[in-house]
Amino acid sequence: MAHVVVLGAGLGGTIMAYELRDALGSEHQISVINKGPEYSFVPSNPWVAVGWRERDAVTVDLAPVFAKRKIAFHPQGAKRLHATEKRVELNDGQSISYDYLAIATGPELAFDEIPGFGPEHFTQSVCQIDHALAARPAFDNLVANPGPVVIGAVQGASCFGPAYEFAFILEKALRDAKVRDRVPMTFVTSEPYIGHLGLDGVGDTKGMIESAMRERHIKWICNAKVDKVEDGMISVSEIADDGSVKQAHELPFAYSMMLPAFRGVAAVRDIEGLTNPRGFILADQYQRNPGFPEIFSVGVCVAIPPMGKTPVPVGVPKTGFMIESMVTATVQNIARLIAGEEPNAVPTWNAICLADFGDSGIAFVAQPQLPPRNVNWSSEGKWVHLAKVGFEKYFLGKMRSGQSEPFYEHLALQVLGIDKLKAVKVDPAE
């Protein structure tokens, strides 16, 4: 009997546990380690921050679902991975040994890299459900006392979609409250242009998002490096292509939400052969670590080089469907190892994204996520907002039921020609 441990129960880790149980059957042991007992649907956090969702609507109590699927659950969280010993030390002093480990921790949020930055200081966050809930009173105060707003993503950030979403959702919420006319808005981003998204754009995201910002009177600053944040003031250097400071900006704000850079979590950081200097997990085409072949990784914790040189550091996002393709490949490869075979499943890293703007939005499909692409498509309209709401309900339903991919979802993706795995070449001897 093999013991497979999943470290982290976010999108990637939870789906991983469900797919492992489906693939391995009841004869193998599966355990999940997570900090806390809940799964939270992170894409809903912008709605939470403006009061459009409550916590119970976007979270799932994992213990009963895992128990139903016969998956062991350890919500005390991991203190340290001891990779050479093939065990995970938990925060309560226990240790969990494994035959195979799938790391799906997500990131640590590097607010401390900029003075005054983050929810413990002067800016809000929608990265976690608790951050979004804490941002709601600040939104209420903005409505009661309107003033300038600064939204965006700082240097080194890799997750730009939620910043755009929140800017537009906030703008809609302010219009609903009849105070938009008293709230100047500025979008500040490390991207070289609006709609870059860490992906050099997808379809016409540049034109679409710029047009939407002009229509809503949202100004922007690109190639922006946030130097410091003080109470009510953000200091930003706009960087030229040669690395010099093109212009310094002092931006007053009554409310600010800026997404941080990410790094690997402390439990896995600084393990020689496992991580890069930033603490992200090194992985080959099979999502397998070259130094520790029994360790796989999926999601935001995976080390992916940036698209190319930019005046200000810009990371590559790991989107939901891209993560799911990593999960499916990892599950198949672990199953093959347990059966005494070599890994052969390679994820496509295809991306399907719905960016909600409160009453409209932009959808895009990138196959694969990193260019050059076979499919490079984007579209906008009110249908995107409705689709995002529908997807939220559907995905949370999957999480609560313990399913990874119902038959009708698999069929729909086949009809659309969107795959999670690259075609597998099978040796005739197999």
- Residue positions annotated with a catalytic role: 159, 353
Geometric angle at alpha carbon 415, from 413 and 416, rounded to 5°: 65
Within 8 A by CB and 6+ apart from 293, the residues are none
> Nearest to residue 429, comparing CAs of 350, 345, 341?
341
